Structure 1
Amino acid sequence: MQFQVMNSPFKQEQADLLNQVLPSMTENQKIWLSGYLANSQVSSTTATADPVIENVLQTEASTQAGVQNATREVTILFGSHTGNCEALAGEISEKLKQQDYKVTLSVMDDFKPKAIKKVQDLLILTSTHGDGDPPDNAMAFYDFIHSKRAPALDDLRYSVLSLGDSSYEFFCQTGKEFDERLEELGGKRIYPRIDCDLDFEEPAEEWFDGVLATLNNAKQVSVEGRNDVQQDQTDKVMNKPMYSRTNPFKAEILENLNLNGRGSNKENRHLELDLEGANLEFEPGDSLGIFPENDPSLVAKLIEEMEWNPEEHVPVNKQGELRPLRDALTSIFDITGLTKPLLEKAAQLTANKELNKLIISEQQEELKAYLYGRDLIDLVQDFGPWNVTAEEFTGILRKIPPRLYSIASSLKANPDEVHLTIGALRYDAHGRKRTGVCSGQCAERSQPGDALPVFIQHNSNFKLPENPDTPVIMIGAGTGIAPYRAFLEEREETGAGGEAWLFFGDQHFVTDFLYQVEWQKWLSEGVLTRMDVAFSRDTSEKVYVQHRMREKSHDLYQWLQAGAVIYVCGDEKYMAKDVEAVLLTILQQEGNMNKEEAETYLTELRKQKRYQRDVY
């Protein structure tokens, strides 16, 4: 195809050069050049260019780009405990599809591990659970990749986004291990791994932009702008505001009750929130996120210690938005959690060398001990003087992370409402009384008529069985009872026929039997088939839910053999581990299995989504 000078703005020597270069260009080069010219806005100055040039550099390039992108498949695998990685993976999948990529999206447990050999472009999004462990729904894939059965992956391109909490010792450990292992197997990085703290939105967006730029093999295409326009158009068509983690809904508090009786050692609040007009949907097993505010008295104390002006304006985001310091410390910045990364940044702002000694000390247990139970006020009091401006200091702080609470109600049973069960955290540490940021706000500073910024956090890993006739076994302690209230409200509303067995534990029968009247009503109506309770402080020897499970081991095993789904909700470090240990014992005793066979049985239950945990 020869370029002609006639009716074009090009000189003969330019046409000769074009005729030499164009035939020798690869399709990728033509695509790149087309994108370069488009981004340089050359098209507006070459409107009279010869049709041949337009055909070669625009029509052909865009067609080939569409074919190339349409045939390139990107595999997205996620491991998620609370649902953040799952939600991000879904968003990224949609963005790639809008760029004409073919996308395979899967939770790791549903992905056939051996199929990894056929994957060319792989994106992994994973959280880290417990003491550096992979999430439950990533364990099988994690074990395979780290085993000797894992194949060479010389043709694989990959990138890892890791979510975590820097206050934990093994911050983003699972993501780091996936990243290193895929490299060991021969994979090449599309884009470097990014480890995200609790405020993960901006680094996650940076990671995706970098991944997309490499996948496009050209100057980065700004997808975000187009998506915002498309979303805006959709919103206008639907005439409905879209509320999410980045745009929370202000939910009015309808009820705020203390569930515990007089004399209890605990204070568990039952909150009912109004969602009318929010257009939010959720299912039993999902969570509600709340963006809390810091205690105003702590904010005032910090400002006083640092001798700052509370009305001074400081930037609160990368866009440079300014807020008064008091407001920023109340509703934007985390002032209650200390982490090693924060201490490392703070050490650059003080002349006190003791902070550096603490950070670099070989005795890491000393650092852990200092971080536990202390907040920003402790830090500034212990390691002054601080000759630093408010803007410099707030610049090292992370945002207040939202708190997630298992939803304790069914949307079918309570339209336009959401109910929560929140345990108020109070304790003494290092000479001061302390309260939980969100639980303290809900218990002490939130009244009916007030509003809380909320969003829905979907959790596909903790769901009622699709078949309503499937029996369910629900195990929870304390506020771990919350999702089971939602389960039974839903089953009552839908007329589910499967049997339901609840194990519940707390300290005292008289003061701590949460939602007692409701369980008794459901028992009498047959919505709840069986209930076993354990109140640890009512007997000379402490009795917990795992002890009740052991007492009912024969029946429990029979339910499992009949296809029951078993749920565990509560404390991960103690309660959930003890429950799992008892489950393994029951399988060995009642099923005549050895330890390895019992572990395999439980693993299969997990894969079949018949063993689901919501632990924290």
Structure 2
Amino acid sequence: MTQIADAVLDVLPISREKAQTAADLVQGLDRPALEWLAGFMAGAAARLRADAPQAATPVALAAGTAVQQQLTILYGSQTGNAKRVAEKLAAEVQAAGLPVRIVRADAYRTAELKKEQFLYIVISTHSEGDAVEPPDDSRGFYEFLTGKRAPQLPHLSYGVLALGDSSYVDFCGIGRQIDERLAALGARRVLERADADVDVDYVATPWAAQALQQARTVLAPQQPSVPSAAGAEVLALRPTHAAWSRERPYLAEVLVNQRIVGSGSEKDVRHIELSLAGSGLHYQPGDALGVWPTQAPELVHRVLDVLNLSGDTAATHGGETLALTEWLSHRRELTVLTRPFIAALAERGGHAALQALLQPEGSAELARLLNTSQLIDVLRAWPAQWSADAIVAALRPLAPRMYSIASSQALVDEEVHLTVALVQFDRDGEARWGVGSRYLSAAQEGAQVPVFIEANERFRLPADPARDVIMVGPGTGVAPFRAFVQQRQADEATGRNWLFFGNPHRHSDFLYQAEWLQAAKEGALTHLDVAFSRDQSEKVYVQHRLIEHGSEVWQWLQGGAHFYVCGDAERMAGDVQRALAQIAVTHGGKTPEDAADWVKTLLVEGRYARDVY
């Protein structure tokens, strides 16, 4: 333990032991964490002042006396980005000495909305196929706000930060709907809505700065004076690194990169083990690992060739100058198309066909183009003259890829395991791939991969180890359930575990087969039901197995079981949800409408959790 000088301790208003604890606490924290901690301490002091005996005050306030406001920050997050942005903003507001509370949407009591005076909402748009949906933790709030029970809100000032993905046609649709609905209910927009793409911070950071300034304007005049901490000094008592994060990833060594499908499989699925030794990183089952990938050199060369530009050309964007090869390899998306880039290409090349896709009547064809083509395809199909600066400005910044963690630290300690399927296909005789899966699949043992932990609070094992769990994870969607089973074994949980797994063929695609069979033998899996879709003439999927076992599934759920789904959002997740509703109709005697409401209730209660992509 680092010791504090006696001379310093002698003038502190707390004991030596608590002073030393405080000194230890701040070690390893970055600036946002320290600012949050400072705000937390200031808030604790303010609460003590509020709790202290006060002189009696009149019950009625004098005419014109303002009721003290606070800022409420409400967030809805599917993958963790909205939560991260909201928490950072709350820490900055609190560090400024302003009253603030942060609430996840499913924990927000909708009856409070009519009483709110100052509200910021940070919410993502979750896409399932062609439809956009609110995050699972926001469905109740969204339905209330957009429904008939929503109150008029003439006293509310608000701002909305919308998060989305511009590779989908309805970009930030949920945030836009909430923003427009609040205005329609009479609320006053004090900040223009900002729409953030997957490079969230590019838009979120300036929006948050404006939001903080607006909070100071609205709230600061009402606050008692708080001593400034500007003159305080936090001594670096021992050298240490800041916490690893999205902005400062940890370089994890590849320990194992093993193909786990048979030679006859049409897929290439890898089990990858990474070392976290000495990093101090911790995760829980259900969390994701963020990976910052590097574009394949051959793709970078193809793009440079079609652009007729040299990789050594300097390109400047956002005040930063790098070689074009560096921009394309590490800073820009090359495998994901977005609507803004199509618009830029249409304008630069004067392509009427692309302009037509950007019109409302062309939305279906635009969606098809975004889903089936990559950058190299449209650059070849619709030529245009690009400078190095212009192409860098037009392309979306490269975003980290998120992978469900396939291990429990209770078993693997300072390691993290992933289950990664290589996304690869041919187009016109030329290979195409997904940037993250290609990068990880090609990573040799001993290589270093930049990573960070992304917490997923909505995808957690039950707090009660006696609760039963039902896990539906076809393909690589089984990854988090490997972590779940490992954790349940380590905890000696008494609840039952039921896994539904699916893939094309039993002999070549039964991921972690030996582990599942051993877990079943030991009782760690109460039931293991599989669906190998191509092993018989009629295709069988996990949703069919659910319906086959519908009576027992219903009994488990009626007994308090938690239901988890991980995997493909476009089709599988919807099929499983429809199967769940069908089970409620067939075995619970519910009407289709009541069954749909029952499923929504499970979502709101957190007993139905999804990690879909």
- Measured against the shorter chain, the TM-score band is 0.7 to 0.9
What's the counterpart of residue 258 of structure 2?
A: 257
Check the 8 A contact 1:471/1:498 in 2, yes or no: yes
Greater mean alpha carbon deviation, residues 414-423 or residues 338-347: 338-347
Identity of aligned residues (%): 39
The change in CA–CA distance for 1:606 and 1:367 in structure 2 (over 3 A counts) is closer
Distance 1:591 1:268 in 2: 39
User: Structure 2 vs 1, CA of residues 302 and 524 (structure 1 numbering), >3 Å: closer, same or farther?
Assistant: same
Distance (Å, rounded) in 1 between the aligned partners of 2:424 and 2:379: 22
Which amino acid counterpart does residue 368 of structure 1 have in structure 2? A
Matched ranges for 1:274-285 at <5 A: 274-285=275-286
Q: Answer yes or no: is the 8 Å Cα contact 1:506–1:534 preserved in 2.
A: yes
Residue 342 to residue 526, structure 1, CA distance change in 2 (3 Å)? same
Counterpart residue identity of residue 483, structure 1 = P
**1:594 and 2:591 matched:** yes
Instruction: State the 1:592 CA deviation.
Output: 1.4
1:513-537 Cα distance to aligned partner (Å, 9 max, x none): 1011111111122121111111111
| Alignment pair present for 1:511 and 2:512 | no
Matching residue of 1:397: 395
**In structure 2, the residue corresponding to 1:449 is in which secondary structure?**
coil
Amino acid at match of 2:95: Q
Query: Which residue of structure 1 lines up, in the alignment, with residue 181 of structure 2?
Result: 181
Q: Aligned runs of 1:12-411 on 2, under 5 Å?
A: 71-130=68-127, 131-217=131-217, 239-315=240-316, 318=318, 320-350=319-349, 355-360=354-359, 362-386=361-385, 388-411=386-409
Confirm or deny: 8 A CA contact 2:470 2:563 kept in the other structure: yes
How far residue 485 of structure 1 moved from its aligned partner, in angstroms, is 0.3
2:23 is matched with none
**Structure 1 pair 596–354 and aligned structure 2 pair: CA distance change class (3 A):** closer
Question: Residue 526 of structure 2 corresponds to which residue in structure 1?
Answer: 529
2:434 to 430, 433, 436: 436
Residue 563 of structure 2 aligns to which amino acid in structure 1?
Answer: I
Q: CA deviation at 1:229?
A: 10
1:529-574 per-position Cα deviation (integer Å, ceiling 9, x unaligned): 1111111111111111111111111111111111100101111121
1:347-397 CA distance string (max 9 Å, x none): 3433555544554584333333333322222222222241x3212221211
Q: How far apart are 1:122 and its partner, in Å?
A: 0.6
The alpha-carbon deviation at position 235 of structure 1 amounts to 7.9
TM-score, with length taken from structure 1 = 0.83
Q: Does 1:545 align with 2:521?
A: no
Aligned residue-pair number: 540
Q: Over aligned residue pairs, what C-alpha RMSD do you find? A: 2.5
1:260–1:512 Cα contact (<8 Å) kept: yes
1:244-298 residue CA offsets vs partner (Å, 9 max, x unmatched): 1111111111100111011101111111011122221211001011111111111
Alignment gaps of 5+ in structure 2: 1-64, 221-227
Q: Closer, same or farther in 2 for the Cα pair 1:461/1:433, shift >3 Å?
A: same
Looking at structure 1, the residues matched to 77 and 236 of structure 2 have their Cα atoms a distance apart, in angstroms, of 29
Contact 1:409 / 1:489 at 8 angstroms: preserved in 2? Answer: yes
- How many angstroms does 1:232 deviate by? 11
Task: Tell me how far apart the structure 2 counterparts of residues 602 and 406 of structure 1 sit (CA, whole Å).
Answer: 24
Quote the Cα distance in structure 2 between the aligned partners of 1:361 and 1:155. 36
Instruction: Provide the rounded CA distance (Å) in 1 between the counterparts of 2:326 and 2:233.
Output: 30
Aligned partners of 2:480 and 2:232: how far apart in 1?
A: 32
CA–CA separation in structure 1 for the residues paired with 2:324 and 2:461: 46
Shift of 1:346: 2.6
Q: Please report how far the alpha carbon of residue 192 of structure 1 lies from its aligned counterpart in structure 2 after TM superposition.
A: 0.6
CA contact (8 A) 1:471 1:499 kept: yes
**Alignment partner for residue 582 of structure 1, among 575, 579, 594?**
579
Question: Does the aligned pair in 2 maintain the 1:557–1:586 contact within 8 Å?
Answer: yes
- CA distance 1:553–1:385, shift in 2 (3 Å): closer
Alpha-carbon distance between aligned partners in 2 of 1:145 and 1:413, rounded to the nearest angstrom: 44
Distance 2:298 2:197 in 1: 26
Q: Return the offset for 1:490.
A: 0.9
In structure 2, do the counterparts of structure 1 residues 564 and 402 end up closer, same or farther at CA, with 3 Å as the change threshold? same
Query: Is 1:373–1:429's contact at 8 Å kept on the other side of the alignment?
Result: no
Shift of 1:325: 1.4
CA distance in 1, matches of 2:233, 2:398: 28
What do the CA deviations read for 1:98-147 (whole angstroms, capped 9, x no partner)? 11222222111111111101111111111111222111111111111111
Question: Closer, same or farther in 2 for the Cα pair 1:608/1:353, shift >3 Å?
Answer: closer
Question: In 2, Cα distance between the equivalents of 1:117 and 1:434?
Answer: 52
Comparing 285-294 with 375-384, greater Cα deviation is found at: 375-384
When residues 351 and 606 of structure 1 are mapped into structure 2, their CA distance, relative to the original with a 3 A threshold, is closer
Determine helix, strand or coil for the equivalent of 1:548.
Answer: helix
What SS does the aligned partner of 1:501 have? strand
Match of 1:52 in 2: none
Q: Deviations over 1:152-201 (max 9, x none)?
A: 10000110011100010111000000000000011111211100001011
Write out per-residue CA displacement over residues 453-507 of structure 1, whole angstroms, 9 at most, x where no aligned residue. 1111111111000011111111110000000000011111121111111111111
Superposed CA deviations along residues 397-438 of structure 1, whole A, max 9, x for unmatched, are 111111111000012211111100011111123553211111
Distance of 1:229 and 1:240 partners within structure 2? 23
Partner Cα separation in structure 2 for residue 278 and residue 405 of structure 1: 19
Q: Distance in 2 between matches of 1:552 and 1:529?
A: 14
Cα distance in 2 for partners of 1:257, 1:292 equals 19
Contact 1:374 1:430 in 2 (8 A): no
Q: Structure 1 297/219 Cα, relative in aligned 2: closer, same or farther at 3 Å?
A: farther
Aligned residue number for residue 474 of structure 2: 477
Partner secondary structure for residue 294 of structure 1: coil
Moved more, 429-438 or 92-101: 429-438
Task: Rate the CA distance shift 1:332–1:233 in 2: closer, same or farther, 3 A.
Answer: farther
1:56 aligned residue: none
* Structure 1 residue 343, shift from structure 2 partner: 1.7
Provide the residue aligned with 1:224 in structure 2: none
1:453 maps to amino acid: P
| CA gap 1:385/1:83 in 2 versus in 1, 3 angstroms | closer
The answer to whether the 8 A contact 1:476-1:570 is kept is: yes
| Contact 2:169-2:366 within 8 A present in 1 as well | no
